[in-house]
Structure 1
Amino acid sequence: MFIPIVLYSPLLVTSTVQATPSTENSCQNPLNFDVELSNVVSDLFQVASWLNEPKTVVATISQSLGPQMAAYFNPSVSPNINERAKLARVPVFMYHDVLAVKEVFFDVTYQDFAQHLRLIKEKGLTPISFDQLVTHLRTGLPLPEKPIMLTFDDGYGGHYEYVYPLLKKYGYPAVFSVYTHNMGKNTGRSHVNWQQLKEMAADPLITIASHSITHPRDLRELSDARLQLELTKSKKILEAQLGIPIRYFTYPEGKYDQRVAKAVQEAGYQAALTMSDTDERYAGQSDSMLAISRFGQSRLAQALTQPDVSPIAQAWGGAKLPSWGGIFDFSADVEVTKTTLEDIPLTLISGGKPVTIHAKSRSQVAEIIAGTQAVAAVDGGFFSLRYLNSNVMIGPVLSQINNQFIPGNKGEIPKLAGRPLVLISPQAVKFISFDPFKHNTLAGIQAEMPNVTDAFVAAAWLVKDNQPQLTQNFANLYGFDALRHRAFWGIDRVGKPTIGVSNEPVDSISLGAALGLAGLRDAVMLDSGASTSLVYKGDSLVGYTPRPVPHVVALMPPNATTILAPCTVAQK
């Protein structure tokens, strides 16, 4: 096992790698240094050639390696699942016996299983180990783009005869859960013997998990003493026979409750697999790491005939790690994510290039972006309600769609002091405190961002420099603590612009906390309440008819060349 050690000084960064002996199978490492930090170690070896450029070294390690190390060494408290991991979609598939000829409904034939592996390869999925999944669930470290985990229960002979050779052929890792009572026995079905299991356990591709001693149908019905015996003795037997640590457990028939889960943790297991015929979920949606959900093998087979609705079609390893630098990424495709964080349902749309559109009158958001290349848009800054069709904004506004700067009303702008001034350029975004004496002229905002193309004043910060804002940060903003539908936009921690709405009424403080968990490094509140609007590809994503607005924040495709919509833009 390799532990990278980085030494910092104001002028120099040096690196060494300290080797520590390990007798354990590298694929059984609980935090999986060899797998998860292999890229980190590789990058650190390059430091020696960079020593004549210390600034480059510091920036590279800070922006590239720092976030990985920070996530890795700051996991969620066990057995909780990291909030970032909850956003990923990692399917864990469960198999039982694999035979030449199917005998009962839960069997899979050798031919069908071989087809499943071909499908996995054709779809570009990456099978992962249990260690990789556990590290991901604890830290939020992203997995490969389309991850999948394969598990096999009960230690059947077909696992050694049919499954293991195919896994070696493809180089795919998998988890085998065995109960010790039937080792090597033929109970009408063959089971692996100790020699076969030792051969499999010695392969870095294979993880062995305990499945109890006797496979009771329901662990919940056992006495405390019997439950402890099933959990601890099976672990000791497997460790003694195989010479490796057994860190994971699989509930027989998936049945458990809080008492059983606590006993599993107390027995020394770090994670456990469950199953349900009626409640199949992605790993990140599990109740905890002591109850990781799985899909039945039939759902993988479903992909053969219905690929668009199978779990593998949605597989996603999670967003890149938060950046420590102020980077921006306007090159990503625009994508929609629906999630619930802190009991707040959210719709977020990320990617593309951010722009604003200041229309000549109030309209629905979909009407404002019609005729433009915008993929999505959310209602923007606050505006005057004095006239029904007024496009007069509260505070100064600049929109690249007409390249016109309109100053704010001098009598109103002192009340906006300290609110977020949003500045957008083709390469970056800034959120700075609005100063009515400095920022009510084009020259004033160009002093802050010389190539500014868009500007307006938002209501308040929801997240600022990665920190969700507290009550005292909202000063005298009217209604910040009321329950309302709310609109927002900002930049996530990998630099992508993100717009969105709360799908239920929420106060500003709770919304900021949820957006922090969603990975936004900066987010500001837009016009909310009756104005809250969100549109994707021309369709409204809110379940009501919002109030017409004159201003939107839109996301353009990365390769967009123009946003003009001559019939709707504000005129000079």
Structure 2
Amino acid sequence: MKIYQKRILNARFYCGFSVIGLAIPLPAPALANACREPSAIQQNIANSTIQLASWVDAPQTLIPKLVQDLGPWLAAYLNPPPTPNLHVRAKQARVPIMMYHDILPQKQVFFDVTPQELATHLELMRSHQLTPISLAQLVTHLRTGIPLPKKPILLTFDDGYSGHYQYVYPLLKKYGYPATFSIYTSNIGKNTGRPHVSWEQLRQMAADPLVTIAAHSVTHPADLRDLSEAELRFEIAESKRILETQLGISIDYFTYPAGKYDSRVTRFVGQAGYKAALTMDDSADRFAGESESLLAIARIGQSRLKHAIAGAWGGSQLPAWGVKFDFTTDISVQTTTIDSSRFILITGGKPITIHAKSRYQVPQILVGSPAIAAVDGGFFSLKSLDSNVMIGPVLSHSGKFVPGNNSENRKLNGRPLVLINSQAVKFVAFNSQQHNTLAGLNAALPNVTDSFVAAAWLVKDSQPQPASTFGSLFDYDAARHRAFWGINQLGQPTIGVSTKLIDSVSLGIALAQAGLRDAVMLDSGASTSLAYKGESLVGYTPRPVPHVVALIPPQTMTQSDCVMASR
């Protein structure tokens, strides 16, 4: 068994492993230069393969580990939606495709770029830690939903100008960035007032793994939609044939001249054997995941680079095979903006709940506890200012179980019951006949340490929940401050709040994009609270609460993970 690198026709690379001569290609979408740079994905494959090499010594542990680590990637890769549809996960990511035209020392029109400006653009990408990807990586992502790096970007250059060889290509090699060059064949080697690359220069570029060559028609007609079928077939199929013959590679992608296409044009593109096609729209900037299909992938003009950099996001982690949890990672705070809504997320550690003796601000409840972060928890009675009576049964980490009121419990049926033990979290539909005793909670999750009834599912099995699932929940469709907690795709607990007003359905969509595998809504509105290391992270004074979901750092956990709720 060995890790290998394989060149596929047009210099696109795939990472994979070979078992007894059977090659299983694994796409490497998180790598800037395919398989050549270290990444979490490549390391994961390498570690798993090294372990598999000694499977004869411990097959009962190593084979399941390999399957668990690589299984989601293989499953996603081998189960794309019907062509040319985009995968639903790809629609959640924000991948900018930057469109450039001529690069020359003196600008002639507004969309020309000088070599110095292009170098500044590349340096800006590097300083903001973006990862330029290849078109093959993007298409794999759009087909399968396999995530890209945290901040991906794709560079494209249209029309085959000589400046692409003279200025762009050396800069790509300097930075190690891949790019796609769209070539229309009739002007290769000609000077039409603007010189174009020669066949020899194009062959040199095409031989480099950094470079992808896409067909851009034969003559660059003003509008493919106006052509007859014979003319359309010539522009689309003949350009592919010419490029493949001259360059000795497979041409898998097409770029529409001036971005103009319709259903007839895309049909000819698909019939010619292209895997995907690039377009453009001067009136709208769209990320790749907002594209109509693989045969109409949207791009953004180079003048909007700063906007594109600010929004770039490669998508959430793949759903894990089986249910797994990780309570061993350090706790970290992240502020993120998704679809113009801002969220504060705290991830890591071990989740617990604390049921205080009265109502306090969340930082006060954490005093005396090893937990360093918390969000307000379940619903509670408002009959008195110092009441700690919860709506529904509650079991806190201190070990005290308090049953819920029978009349109130019946109204909670079907809402998510949160169950936590030292190794797992479980969200089940609350049943007032089964879950109002400690024995009933243990039947749902053995060795349960914490439990309470949440407001509603926001994300369930990686899918945001539609309006129909919220039933009669008060104000679920109103824009309010919201509190939530759940488990991400890596099995880590995540607590958080929205900093802008948002409705429950939109919140679920955003949290699915943020990578939550399961998430439930907590007491929100005036109670929305979040604290970290003794400080409130919300910009207002929330209503005091008696209950929180908290996170304990892994280094402070003991065998029993004892926590007191003395307040």
State the TM-score, normalizing by the size of structure 1: 0.75
Contact kept, 8 Å, 1:66 with 1:324, in 2: the verdict is yes
Choose the corresponding residue for 1:36, options 28, 31, 46.
28
Listed as ranges, the matches of 1:169-188 within 5 Å are 169-188=174-193
Listed as ranges, the matches of 1:501-520 within 5 Å are 519-520=515-516
Deviations 1:473-510 (A, max 9, x none): x8xx9627997348753212221334567976568xx9
Deviation (angstroms), 1:259: 3.8
Choose the corresponding residue for 1:198, options 181, 203, 210.
203
Q: C-alpha root-mean-square deviation of aligned residues, in Å?
A: 4.6
Choose the corresponding residue for 1:407, options 395, 402, 408.
402
Deviation (angstroms), 1:322: 2.1
Q: Does 1:47 align with 2:62?
A: no
Counterpart for residue 330 of structure 2: 331
The one-letter code sitting in structure 1 at the alignment partner of 2:325 is: I
Counterpart for residue 69 of structure 1: 74
Choose the corresponding residue for 1:163, options 159, 165, 168.
168
Deviation (angstroms), 1:162: 1.6
Aligned length: 524
Contact kept, 8 Å, 2:376 with 2:483, in 1: the verdict is yes
User: CA–CA distance in 1 between the matches of 2:464 and 2:101?
Assistant: 46
Moved more, 275-284 or 34-43: 34-43
User: CA–CA distance in 2 between the matches of 1:58 and 1:350?
Assistant: 33
Deviation (angstroms), 1:558: 5.7
Q: Does 1:288 align with 2:288?
A: no
The one-letter code sitting in structure 1 at the alignment partner of 2:400 is: F
Deviation (angstroms), 1:188: 0.5
User: CA–CA distance in 1 between the matches of 2:485 and 2:53?
Assistant: 42
Deviation (angstroms), 1:512: 7.6
Counterpart for residue 489 of structure 2: 493
Q: Which runs of 5+ in 1 are unaligned?
A: 1-14, 303-309, 563-568
Deviation (angstroms), 1:272: 1.6
Task: Summarize the Cα distance change of 1:288–1:535 in structure 2 as closer, same or farther, 3 Å threshold.
Answer: farther
User: CA–CA distance in 2 between the matches of 1:220 and 1:164?
Assistant: 32
Moved more, 267-276 or 190-199: 267-276
Deviation (angstroms), 1:206: 0.9
Deviation (angstroms), 1:152: 0.6
Q: Does 1:521 align with 2:517?
A: yes
What is the identity percentage for the equivalent residue pairs of Structure 1 and Structure 2?
Answer: 53
Listed as ranges, the matches of 1:382-461 within 5 Å are 382-384=379-381, 390-399=387-396, 403=398, 405-409=400-404, 411-412=406-407, 415=410, 420-424=416-420, 428-432=424-428, 448=445, 450=447, 452=449, 454-459=450-455
Deviation (angstroms), 1:451: 7.9
Question: SS of 1:233's equivalent?
Answer: helix
Question: SS of 1:50's equivalent?
Answer: coil
Contact kept, 8 Å, 1:299 with 1:311, in 2: the verdict is yes
Counterpart for residue 322 of structure 1: 319
Deviation (angstroms), 1:263: 3.4
Deviation (angstroms), 1:178: 0.7
Deviation (angstroms), 1:420: 4.1
Contact kept, 8 Å, 1:360 with 1:550, in 2: the verdict is no
State the TM-score, normalizing by the size of structure 2: 0.76
Counterpart for residue 131 of structure 2: 126
Contact kept, 8 Å, 1:272 with 1:289, in 2: the verdict is yes
Question: SS of 1:238's equivalent?
Answer: helix
Question: SS of 1:86's equivalent?
Answer: coil
Question: SS of 1:430's equivalent?
Answer: strand
The one-letter code sitting in structure 2 at the alignment partner of 1:246 is: I
Deviation (angstroms), 1:94: 1.5
Deviation (angstroms), 1:190: 0.3
Deviation (angstroms), 1:210: 1.0
Task: Summarize the Cα distance change of 1:324–1:182 in structure 2 as closer, same or farther, 3 Å threshold.
Answer: same
User: CA–CA distance in 1 between the matches of 2:94 and 2:382?
Assistant: 43
Question: SS of 1:76's equivalent?
Answer: coil
Deviations 1:60-115 (A, max 9, x none): 21221111111111123322222222333322222111113333222222222233
Choose the corresponding residue for 2:9, options 15, 24, 34.
24
Contact kept, 8 Å, 1:493 with 1:520, in 2: the verdict is yes
Contact kept, 8 Å, 1:26 with 1:34, in 2: the verdict is no
User: CA–CA distance in 1 between the matches of 2:299 and 2:466?
Assistant: 38
Question: SS of 1:522's equivalent?
Answer: strand
Q: Which runs of 5+ in 2 are unaligned?
A: 17-23, 30-34, 36-41, 558-563
Question: SS of 2:85's equivalent?
Answer: coil
Deviations 1:379-404 (A, max 9, x none): 6323346567744212222445xx47
